[in-house]
A and B are shown apart, each in its own frame.
Chain A
């Protein structure tokens, strides 16, 4: 346990191991945007007279195309109808007409009913281009605003510790780590299982940001306290290590309780918020990791100005370098 700080470059390597594939996926595939940000319509349909597995996505696509919705994306699902499991489908199309949406909707439902009998529309969302553009703009503003305000607050909160700005910047770096992890995973999941980035995803991301900072603050608070009671000759590395060990039970326990509540939501919370919970789960684990293994360790790197050593051939960066 007393080697947590010594091994810091290994922790950074583990972080990179998760972030790099995510970043590559982001660069290659990007994010799969939901209708909230890209515009479009999402039809949640229930085929009451069809059992799961009795639907053909191509046929449904063709029916939508015949009604003027070319290129519909169809995803089949199982849904509950009056106690039995029936076939369902989530269909994503371009947005409904702004001037005459109702005849379009009726025509699609009528065409589906002609083919499949009773079809109920569980939900229908349509988002026009202006609205989605506005949402995207406010999403970016919200993330940036949250980062800035937190940076200012942390600098104020740690003003009594030496170098208060460092705490803020290290917390933000850990936060960027978590944002990258979440975005990377979302990109990979988007490519492989079709996870979409929607308003709820953004909610999850902003929550991850705040929880990440929350975790980092708990660790930093200990460091701040131990620095005040610093004994002469005590190394900064040791203080950080000691502080991490002291806060570890709390970090693990908090992580576990939040993990339990999120697992309950994931398993029983219903379809609508499943993606939200999944992202929260990934983000919270990443947030706890980054507060212990990145944020606090970065303080040490900064204190020792280790970047001076990084590019020197004689002392390659590695665990042993940090004992100096």
Chain B
């Protein structure tokens, strides 16, 4: 036994300890309160992934604004770990995990939020009414496809459609949401002018909308003006004074109302309409089934491999199985630490990498047996077994690394993003493999082989090992 082996052994034990402390970290929190809870992909926990694309050609900067708006809306859903990501010049990828009705959530997100102030000729409209406006005379909600009678047994969350609006009047739009100066929209403040507590949201329009708004408000003081978002009446405040230069504020009696108005004004409008180009939705129960299936497959796979290795290679097989367990522990610790989101193909990649981890050991043990047959002593046979097997292990690992890298790059194309997880766990597995199969197994073999019980050819699946006899006689 050499001191190098002892150092390696201590290192391996430490590493395994760290790995286990990450895997079993209480509450998924590790050193410095780092979140190391295992992350499951949408296919395992249920959820939805959507690729939204701008309906018309846009600049990347416009798309960035759109992604920002969507991100704020997603955050509004209060779902943890959702992802909003710009892809290319005109696409946004949205991922929302574990949500009950993902399709409707997506509908809410991609609503363009067309904001209009309309002239209702003095009429107060109920909030929620769908109206036709000059800016948008044919809202989708009023089109025949959407109004087809619903025969479902479950209530749907589709907006009830006000019958008067279907054929109703077209209201005059005073402003266009595009002209709203978002920087001028200020969060609600307690209004100083009023006796009772009132909350005010200030805003400002620019361009033509500003002048139209000024004219209209000057002529209609004490009459209502309705705020309409996506053809749906949101609120109908009464005009108190002319809005000079398109600047003004909306006052309400409760903070809640004010905040709602503020959110709608500030984040209501998407700069460009978005289309659902592709989407993938998985229910939570299907995800749970997949998790259960993967766990069973993983345990069965590991057990059969371990049994095979032990029955076939005996002592080295036992040590390789130990190395395999360490490999599994370190892999999962890395998934949790980096973190790598586990998907179904990702788990398949991991289980496959177990097969490869074993392959490296099989290569080494086959060489070890050959060397022992030639009459080399155990120590020398172990060393040359590793040295001889190394070029094959190295070359084949590099070849697999190459393909997993290409798979990973290819996985950046949205339609096939599933395979990214597979490439990641497989590639990581190969790298880790080089460590566990080579360093860990070698250290174990060196530590165990000098022990008296290990001087038995049967343990190496041999009838006779001349070199071993020599060691026994001189010992």
Contact = CB atoms under 8 A, between A and B. Distances in A.
Contact of A260 (B107, B294, B304, B404): B304
Given A209-B403, A257-B358, A114 B416 contact: no
A101 B103 contact: yes
A127 B407 contact: no
A249 B461 CA distance: 13
B419 A202 contact: yes
Contacts of A211: 400
Contact of B403 (A44, A146, A246, A263): A146
B446 to A, nearest CB: 22
Interface string B107-134: 1000000000000000000000000000
Interface in A220-247: 221-222, 225, 246-247
A139 B312 contact: no
A171 B216 CA distance: 79
A106 B158 contact: yes
Interface in A97-150: 98-107, 109-111, 113-114, 117-118, 120-128, 130-132, 134-135, 138-139, 141-142, 145-146, 149-150
A272 B422 CA distance: 14
Given A128-B278, A150-B402, A110 B358 contact: no
Contact of A221 (B366, B391, B415, B416): B391
Contacts of B53: 98, 130
Interface in B424-463: 426
Interface residues of A, number: 89
A109 B152 CA distance: 8
A128 B274 CA distance: 14
B357 to A, nearest CB: 9
Contacts of B388: 225
B43 A126 contact: no
A121 B279 CA distance: 14
A23 interface: no
Interface of A: 36, 44, 80-81, 95-96, 98-107, 109-111, 113-114, 117-118, 120-128, 130-132, 134-135, 138-139, 141-142, 145-146, 149-150, 153-154, 157, 199-200, 202-203, 206-207, 209-211, 213-215, 217-218, 221-222, 225, 246-247, 249-250, 253-254, 256-258, 260-265, 267-270, 272-273, 276-277, 280
Given A132-B415, A142-B409, A214-B399, 14 more contacts: A100-B146, A103-B146, A110-B150, A111-B151, A122-B285, A122-B286, A131-B51, A138-B413, A217-B399, A218-B396, A257-B305, A267-B297, A270-B293, A270-B344
